[in-house]
Amino acid sequence: MTSLLKFVFRHRNIVNYTECKRFAGHNKWSNIRHIKMARDSERASALQTLIKKMKIAIAEGKSAKPDENVKLARLIDQAKKNSLPMATIKNLLEKMQSSKAKGQTAVFESRGPSGCVVLIQLLSENIIHTKQHLNSHLRKTFFSPAELASENYYLKKGIVLTEVDGHDIDNALDDAIEIGAEDAEKCKEEEKEFLMFSCQASELMKVRTKLEDLNYKIIQADVQYIPQVFVELNDEDMELVSKLYERLNNVEEVVGIYSNIL
């Protein structure tokens, strides 16, 4: 669990973000806390984040109909629980259902100063064109495309964050074994405790469903890239990373960013 303890749930793919300080260190929002981003709060709003997640679910599930797409149905339930505007979500689903264009997901790998590795998650109707567009941003911030970075520097894991709600860590570990998860950890943020279950990415939905069956209250469930090798950057290099993030923050097709920067 050493690497997972450096994992952070705070990034653009997460609705109702709750960060565990023990996990701080790997994504675009937590990596450079001392660098303020004017558009952070706007682009990370719950509704916009949920819409991005729904687009990914539709692209992966090949359907904008909740009864045909389990992941999409769960996101809609999450929206209802958090009183997000359903009219906007309904319009999105209708648009995606009628659209002839089929979005695709991909992870674009890049290498930056001092060997830092940044993974950029994309949802695009034209992946090749989007990657070409990203290359321009990379060159201007002294980054370059990298091959096999995700395999060499990251583990792809399913991560489920739940409320404690009467479940102690010993019971959680027993439940993790029972449902086929790999591990369970307790984390704390601002005096509130949470439980994190990790599993193989392919087992995420199954683990989530079984946790719900065991009366765990799910906060978030996502496939995440967990960095295994971390690097520290000086102020000059951090400024370059900041400039890249600012550029990526304005690219609509970018739906998630991961890095191995401490």
**Span 102-127, pLDDT tens digits:** 678 889 999 999 989 999 999 888 99
* Longest CA pairwise span in the chain (Å): 51
Domain boundaries, the chain: 28-98, 104-152+229-259, 154-227
**pLDDT score of 175:** 97
Q: 98-102, 186-190, 212-216: which has the minimum mean pLDDT?
A: 98-102
Q: Matching CATH topology for 104-152+229-259 and 154-227? A: yes
Distance between CA atoms of residues 5 and 224, nearest Å: 13
Q: How confident is the model at residue 40 (pLDDT cuts 50, 70, 90)?
A: very low
Residues 41-53 pLDDT 10s: 443 467 777 887 8
Closest Cα partner for 162 from 127, 211, 124? Answer: 211
CATH of domain 154-227: 3.30.70.980
Q: Say if domain 28-98 classifies as CATH 1.10.10.
A: yes
As a whole number, mean pLDDT of residues 124-145 equals: 93
Q: How confident is the model at residue 25 (pLDDT cuts 50, 70, 90)?
A: very low
Q: In terms of C-beta density within 10 A (0-12 exposed, 13-18 middle, 19 or more buried), how is residue 170 classed?
A: exposed
Q: How confident is the model at residue 88 (pLDDT cuts 50, 70, 90)?
A: confident
Q: How confident is the model at residue 149 (pLDDT cuts 50, 70, 90)?
A: low
Distance between CA atoms of residues 188 and 91, nearest Å: 37
Class of CATH domain 104-152+229-259:
alpha beta
**pLDDT score of 9:** 38
Q: 116-120, 239-243, 249-253: which has the minimum mean pLDDT?
A: 249-253
Whole-number average pLDDT of the chain: 80
**pLDDT score of 37:** 42
**pLDDT score of 39:** 40
**pLDDT score of 45:** 61
Of 132 and 47, the structure prediction assigns the larger pLDDT to: 132
Distance between CA atoms of residues 89 and 96, nearest Å: 10
